[in-house]
Structure 1
């Protein structure tokens, strides 16, 4: 390699690291021991500095990543807890409504027995039932997925089926109310029966209503039995739901449902118990 080419290379790549190439032409002492040591120490210092800077930058980036991950995890947990609360309150609403309906039917039977009408067909003992929910509770799939993630899809399925049955039950009771109100509008049926007993119902009224009374009584007894079964099923689901959510969130104080005995003084049979 000629002296001129070395000189051109030095001029092109002249930096602080290669500061030895200051002269425009090649010098014979450029590869002296002193210069080689200076060059080596400068190069090593630059490399070490770059490594240290990289390590520091990595640590800063890692800390930022972990902080952002912690925020994301906290947000995910808050969303999941909100969904769990929603499911719990929806189940509570269904259970309260079921208890209210059972209470209304039981109180009608009690009142009829107190009035000496215990021998009447069941549909005549139970008055049209008011206070039914305007809409039905529906569990959303995206909310119920948390129970799948918690490893208990069975409780998700059981709660959804309970909600579907309750929705159907509301329509059944509405049908009963319509038929029962139709009976109440016939003075020959109720006026005579209330004053003198069922034996005093006129033949015309008996002919009009006898078959309907039998059918409607069977209808009432059927959905009343199904209602009591669903109330018991709801208690099992509530217990399973609470156990599952407490385990999933690792929180023994996560709110769960407790049920009260039928016809308890409180208007609501299911309450949140911290």
Structure 2
């Protein structure tokens, strides 16, 4: 059951660990996110960032620890004095409050952009098509794709497909949006259009947890940046502090490597545009 008093945080991650066989992917992660807060998760590949998002949405069951959203525990319910696993139906209901945008767009190829956006509210929330269609059209307009409502995914660019995927998540009217490297599968020239939609969402006050390699975007949009390495939260703070004067040596090393890589790419991009 949910708590009677309003929780201080929308999302609370309590001592979450996740083990796959002998591999500890997450180690006692604690993280709280307030309503309307934008938190960027950065760190090297394999540091546990994606697994943490999947545990929040309970697509992966934590080995230990737990997650609460708006005071309600995800994946468990209290029966008397005992915590029981939620049924698939109960879990699906909890997940309606969580929007998740993956690296891959996962659109249904046999449905138009509009039909992809409408599917969740109709099938999961049991709302009528006549009720959902105006909302879905409005969301496609919001992500700049009103003119592509009747297009099938194969006729859309990667950036357009990802924007449809964002609209599809928003159609469930989630309280929390999770982004798992939403631009990493896109060609460089398409990244900006997806980041622009994410910036608009942030400006609208959506609570967001964003795994990203886009450091400039994280600096511009996030209220807080969390650095993960080897399954742990190593450091966190406002982007101005973490990026400008990181105190932890591991964060310093990581950011230096990212900046060096950017410095190598920029001359190539500049020469290509001459």
TM-score calculated relative to the size of structure 2: 0.20
Structure with more of its chain in helix, by fraction: 1
Higher Cα Rg, which structure: 1
Structure with more of its chain in strand, by fraction: 2
TM-score calculated relative to the size of structure 1: 0.20
